[in-house]
Structure formats: C-alpha cells, structure tokens
Amino acid sequence: MAKILIVDDEPDIVRLVERYAVREGYEVTGVGDGTAAIEACRREVGATDGGGNLTSSAVLEYNTRPR
C-alpha cells in the first residue's frame, strides 16, 4: 500500500485530506509542522537514507495566505 504524509498547520485540513486519501486506499500519516514531518519520515523504513535525507518524496504546497 502506498503511503502519504500530510503536513499542515491547520488540523481540520489534515483531517480532511486524510479522509480523502484513506478513501482512495492510501496509508496516511498526518502531522502539524515540518519538524514532525521529518520525524515521521525518519520513522518509516526506507523513507530516508542513512543520513536522514528523503529518498522518495513529492511536495505539494497550497498557500492561501498573501505573502
């Protein structure tokens, strides 16, 4: 089963995306910040090389706040 890590500082957004991803058959982990995301990746077997670098990833950013 493919795994998805969802990261957002809005818990409602994390839960919403989790529901859609689970419904599509993905194993999902949701976290609230970048530090927690890196730690979640490090816990997953094969998610990082020996130095903690991600070996397989995709990043999607959706920002509704003006910069």
- Give the pLDDT confidence score for residue 60 in this predicted structure: 62
Distance of alpha carbon 67 from alpha carbon 51, whole angstroms? 33
Instruction: Note whether 60 and 49 are within 8 A (CB).
Output: no
At 18, the pLDDT band (50, 70, 90 cuts) reads very high
pTM score, two decimals?
0.66
* pLDDT, tens only, 24-63: 998 888 999 888 888 887 777 555 556 655 555 566 666 6
Please give the average per-residue pLDDT across 2-29, as a whole number: 89
Q: Which residues pair with 5 in a beta bridge?
A: 29
- Give the pLDDT confidence score for residue 31 in this predicted structure: 92
